[in-house]
Structure 1
Amino acid sequence: MATEDLTFLPPGVSHSDFAAALSEWRAIVGDDYVMADIDRLAPYAKVMLPEPDARHRPAGAVAPASTEEVQAVVKVAEKYRVPLWMISTGKNLGYGDAAPATPGQVVLDLKRMNRIIEVDETLGYALVEPGVTYMQLKEFLEANNIPLWISFPSSGPVAGPMGNTLDRGVGYNRYGQHFENFCGLEVVLADGSLVRTGMGGVENSREWNVYRWGFGPWVDGIFSQSNFGVVTKIGIWLMPKPPMSLGFLCGWNEDDGMAAGIDAVRHLNLNKVIENGVLGHTMYHIAQTYRRDEIYTGPGAIPRERVREICNDMGLGIWGHISTLYGTEEQIEVNLKIAREAFASTGGQFMTERDPGIEATPFHHWNLNMTNQPTLTEFTIYNYKGGGGSSWLAPVVRCEGSEALKQFNLMHGVLDEYGFDYIGGFLIGGRHAEQLTDILYDRNDAEEMDRARRCYLALIDALHGAGYGIYRTSTSFMNEVAETYGPGQRDLNRRIKRALDPNGILAPGKSGITI
């Protein structure tokens, strides 16, 4: 067994206190589930961020197996003032992975808490612990012949519903806005006390995971993207398996076509003709298919005209929107006719999965995600540049074509300036869209890594200056993004933090929240 490194201590914690905390945690969770040696901490220290690993080095890790053990672990942390960084599956790829936001925190790894506590087929929900993965839940549903589908993100096979939902991640079926489709939390607070939100406060309630609001203030939201508590159970709403589905694609060769497509999608979405959709730039598909040096070896970012040539060579538009219709055959045929007519007005090329040639487009992967079949196809984008660097940026925009085009051009301009390709697109939620964009870089190249960091900061400034807010960011940039939301929100978060966690032991730095 590797030797423990007790020279790297949590900030402000003495050697003797840290050793005492480790000893008490071992008595709670067992020797095998308390880690302070370099080798065993390696999985908690690896990052894809544009800065050195040392800025996110943990001092240790502890892995409880139950809510009761979490309560006991947190009480020890409070006693010795040891900061805890909470993770569920630790697969927050491109946003920070499993590593803490600041060095010296102890990772509170909840992967061992992986029970599927309840699945209700009639009302369509599951109650799960933090370590449950999307694939684990999918296999449970299939093994028990439960006709419910899961909305999962691109990392679906390895990530889990609790972590993704609490970070307000997005999926691809009609329940794709994940934070709109959860109900009920169990939370351990910084003093080790336990609270069940909403109807969970009623003893023997059977409505905990079907009615969100309960009585009095609705507090669930303060445990999303925050460091106010440790969530140990979550209710997830699942989609009833439809009688059938039919996917379609509409592509455009111009950026103006994308803008028209956004307007068409909004109209169809608000009227519930379509209930999901990805409107992506084809460079995202290309980055999954080719290494960058196979398509471009010149200086700087790939010029837009070269991107157009690449897309034309592949027989693809520059932009493509993909949705899946759900329902009976009659419902689908009616909605398909409406959708086809709406997209016809945009000048795009419309195809369904029934049409020959669609398999040569990006359609197949997204349609799998939209029909309960998770894949890891998108992870091949990390081969595009090589070197393991990835930082996602996720600004929100009004679901209006002119605004989407304006935001896209703004971001593209900053990326061009710093020499990075636009790899992204829009996930549409009806009245808003999230423009998810990944900056890819080689972490072995110090100059490129520094340039990626400066590019990300420049994007934050440019977006903020234009009035756009970023809804999700990585552990490297949480303070900078929090600043853009103004002193009122930061002060309110600080007040809540001081009330619930006065010693600041839970995930210092998460979302820029401090005491």
Structure 2
Amino acid sequence: MDTSNISLSKDVPVYPSDYAGIPERLVNKVVRERDRLSKNQTKGRTSERKRGVAIPQGVSKDQFFKAIDELSGLLGEAHVKINDQPLEDGWYMEHPNTHDAFMILDGEETVSSAAVYPGSVEEVQTVVKWANKHLIPIYPISMGRNLGYGGAAPRVRGSVVVDLGRRMNKILDINPDDCTCLVEPGVSFYALYEEIRKRGYKVWIDCPDLGGGSILGNTLDRGVGYTPYGDHWGVHSGLEVVLPTGEVFRTGMGALPGNNTWQTFPYGFGPMSDGLFSQSNFGVVTKIGMALMPDPGEHESFMYTFQEEDDLQLLIDIIRPLRIANILENVAQIRHSIIEVAVGGGSRKEFYEGEGAIPDDVLQKHLESTPLGRCTWIYYGTNYGPKQIRQYKLDIIHKEFMKVPGACRIDPNSLSKDHYFWSRDRISSGEPDFEELSYLNWVPNGAHMGFSPISPTRGPDALKLWKIAKDRHHQHGIDMFLAFVVGLRELHMIVLVIWDRDDPERRKAVDMCMREMIDDCAKNGYGEYRTHILFQDQVAATYNWNDGALMKFNEKLKDALDPNGIMAPGRCGIWPARYRGRGWEIGKEGRDTSEGDGVHPPTGSIKL
């Protein structure tokens, strides 16, 4: 096999010279992960094209290229790129905006036809009006780093990706008095953290496990972080939106000319429309306001281990009142102990070379040599403020946690400074890190996908979810990387399904496992809160109370706001009228193609 294109690039992009780059303080970690991934890769980084440029259905080839020439004239040739080269998978720091690098179908299924890079709100409007004129589907992205859910790949093959992040990446405001900020789509968690530190402001950001993604994009997808401000959508205030017909408006107090409260009061007057643009295809969000956390001065992270799988039920029931009462202060995590083994970046074959999921006795044997010892669950938490306040709460937490037989508090002083605990400590204190990517070395050509159902924070529910996921993973021979993320009153079960993306059998197994888990959970009353683009139809169909009243409502909104159906058709299972009834939806049975049978002819389409 020709392996000449396997090695990852020698250099890594660095912020601020590269808006999407890594801060200088994390370069060594990035180089380490890049080199690990390179050594563990047997699949070439590029895939030759077999089907040519992906022309969207409903548009002829000649029409498409004439339209692209027109758009190049409007935005400049440098800002419009045809996707006609071999598909470059890249990696987290150099991710593609052409296709899904972690695709479970053929790599040319959800592939774009071109990418456009607007540099202003006015240019976004230009792109939207162009798409309406030519009836070409567009797929807006902020930065495209949500790799576990499809990355920058459009749901409709041949869509033009509107990459907002490359040229719209300004931090428009940071107010240290109100503890707020206003950012464009291309501002990453890394970038905002570095700018706050540079200015010396005493405020914290809240960040997810990896900090390279867009703050705006993560918030619109209702992502979470791990400080008390971990509900990102819950702490946003104010959107600027370009509608599918080209109009631009601002939500909340932003609708008042000369307002001075856009980032401090989210509601404004009249119906609150912000939610229409979260996990939807109703508009392009070009600005978002966020609350920042005042620096508490001090914080203290802690970790407990629990021995048995079934300890989960009692543990969750202990956590619920502590979390609701804010004794447990942050969006904390209960992680399965396989993560303690894998987070060091080692390969699965170093621990087990047998078939099927790694047996628990094998896992426990390896855990014996770690600082945590034998255990099944690991709780990571952080408390904030002066020592006497922290200690009061930590004493309550310790007393309650020790009600679980065999519970053990791990002394942080016993852990080396490169232990994963300290990465969790940094993230829980608002400092973006770069440890989470280590899991991908578990298998060659590592890819991952998120499975994310929601339940009440109740022990029986958590145990039921765990067993659903475990049974399906074992059925398909997949090791399970799982964490329970405790919100306030709800529990997210986040499963990272990891597989070798160069193995067709493993890709098929992952597809089946995901679809079965979605169905199993829905039958038991648990719905996913976000999912990969290829499962969005199936997940949307599970929210079918009263004969699918929610989807009918969403379709009415879609047709009213996007009469030509050009804005991200199919995103979150919402299809415009032109696509309905043409077989675009992918149900729980799955299939080998992402496409439907064309689109309905335009009837009275709006020309803008």
Q: TM-score, normalised by structure 2?
A: 0.81
Query: What SS is found at the alignment partner of 1:380?
Result: helix
Do structure 1's residue 148 and structure 2's residue 203 form an aligned pair? yes
- Pick aligned residue for 1:10 from 50, 53, 56: 56
Match of 2:355 in 1: 299
Do structure 1's residue 501 and structure 2's residue 562 form an aligned pair? yes
Distance 2:53 2:163 in 1: 22
Per-residue displacement from partner, 1:150-185 (whole Å, max 9, x unpaired)?
A: 1111121x1111111111111111111111111110
Does the CA contact (< 8 Å) of 2:83 and 2:112 recur in 1?
no
Query: What SS is found at the alignment partner of 1:69?
Result: helix
Query: What SS is found at the alignment partner of 1:260?
Result: helix
Do structure 1's residue 463 and structure 2's residue 509 form an aligned pair? no
Match of 2:589 in 1: none
- Pick aligned residue for 2:498 from 431, 440, 460: 440
Do structure 1's residue 114 and structure 2's residue 169 form an aligned pair? yes
Match of 2:421 in 1: 363
Distance 1:356 1:458 in 2: 42
Per-residue displacement from partner, 1:245-297 (whole Å, max 9, x unpaired)?
A: 00111110112223222222222111111222111111123222221111111
Do structure 1's residue 346 and structure 2's residue 401 form an aligned pair? no
Q: Is 22-31 or 202-211 further displaced after alignment?
A: 22-31
Query: What SS is found at the alignment partner of 2:112?
Result: coil
Does the CA contact (< 8 Å) of 2:343 and 2:420 recur in 1?
no
Match of 2:552 in 1: 491
- Pick aligned residue for 1:514 from 566, 572, 575: 575
Distance 1:177 1:7, change over 3 A: closer
Query: What SS is found at the alignment partner of 1:301?
Result: coil
Match of 1:476 in 2: 534
Percent identity reads: 35
Q: Is 341-350 or 35-44 further displaced after alignment?
A: 35-44
Query: What SS is found at the alignment partner of 1:55?
Result: coil
Distance 1:31 1:195 in 2: 28
Deviation at 1:140, TM superposition (A): 0.7
Deviation at 1:352, TM superposition (A): 4.9
Does the CA contact (< 8 Å) of 2:164 and 2:186 recur in 1?
yes
Match of 2:601 in 1: none
Do structure 1's residue 81 and structure 2's residue 110 form an aligned pair? no
Distance 1:229 1:245 in 2: 39
Do structure 1's residue 227 and structure 2's residue 281 form an aligned pair? yes
Per-residue displacement from partner, 1:348-377 (whole Å, max 9, x unpaired)?
A: 112353x42476864222111111222221
Does the CA contact (< 8 Å) of 1:324 and 1:367 recur in 2?
yes
- Pick aligned residue for 1:137 from 192, 209, 218: 192
Distance 2:74 2:342 in 1: 46
- Pick aligned residue for 1:264 from 305, 314, 318: 318
Query: What SS is found at the alignment partner of 2:533?
Result: coil
Distance 1:416 1:7, change over 3 A: closer
Consecutive unaligned residues in structure 2, runs of 5 or more: 1-48, 89-95, 577-608
Does the CA contact (< 8 Å) of 1:426 and 1:433 recur in 2?
yes
Per-residue displacement from partner, 1:11-51 (whole Å, max 9, x unpaired)?
A: 21123432233223223322111011423874222421311
Letter in 1 for 2:66: A
Distance 1:114 1:333, change over 3 A: same
- Pick aligned residue for 2:244 from 181, 187, 190: 190
Per-residue displacement from partner, 1:119-159 (whole Å, max 9, x unpaired)?
A: 11111111000011111111110111111111111121x11
Letter in 2 for 1:20: K
Do structure 1's residue 171 and structure 2's residue 233 form an aligned pair? no
Do structure 1's residue 49 and structure 2's residue 110 form an aligned pair? no
Does the CA contact (< 8 Å) of 1:89 and 1:163 recur in 2?
yes
Distance 1:339 1:352, change over 3 A: farther
Consecutive unaligned residues in structure 1, runs of 5 or more: none
Match of 1:59 in 2: 113
Distance 1:270 1:352, change over 3 A: farther
Distance 2:525 2:103 in 1: 26
Letter in 2 for 1:507: A
Q: Is 361-370 or 308-317 further displaced after alignment?
A: 308-317
Distance 1:492 1:358 in 2: 54
Do structure 1's residue 236 and structure 2's residue 290 form an aligned pair? yes
Query: What SS is found at the alignment partner of 1:39?
Result: coil
Letter in 2 for 1:504: G
Does the CA contact (< 8 Å) of 2:55 and 2:113 recur in 1?
yes
Distance 1:41 1:52, change over 3 A: closer
Deviation at 1:317, TM superposition (A): 2.0
Distance 1:204 1:80 in 2: 37
Q: Is 485-494 or 7-16 further displaced after alignment?
A: 7-16
Distance 1:105 1:40 in 2: 17
Distance 2:53 2:557 in 1: 33
Residues matched between the structures, number: 510
Per-residue displacement from partner, 1:480-504 (whole Å, max 9, x unpaired)?
A: 1111111111111111100100111
Does the CA contact (< 8 Å) of 2:129 and 2:245 recur in 1?
yes
Q: Is 255-264 or 244-253 further displaced after alignment?
A: 255-264
Q: Quick check: which one's helix share is greater?
A: 1
Per-residue displacement from partner, 1:426-447 (whole Å, max 9, x unpaired)?
A: 1100211101001111111111
Letter in 2 for 1:501: D
Match of 2:84 in 1: 38
Distance 2:220 2:86 in 1: 27
Match of 1:216 in 2: 270
Does the CA contact (< 8 Å) of 1:41 and 1:60 recur in 2?
no
Query: What SS is found at the alignment partner of 1:449?
Result: helix
Deviation at 1:243, TM superposition (A): 1.2
Q: Is 304-313 or 179-188 further displaced after alignment?
A: 304-313
Q: Is 20-29 or 326-335 further displaced after alignment?
A: 20-29
Does the CA contact (< 8 Å) of 2:54 and 2:111 recur in 1?
no
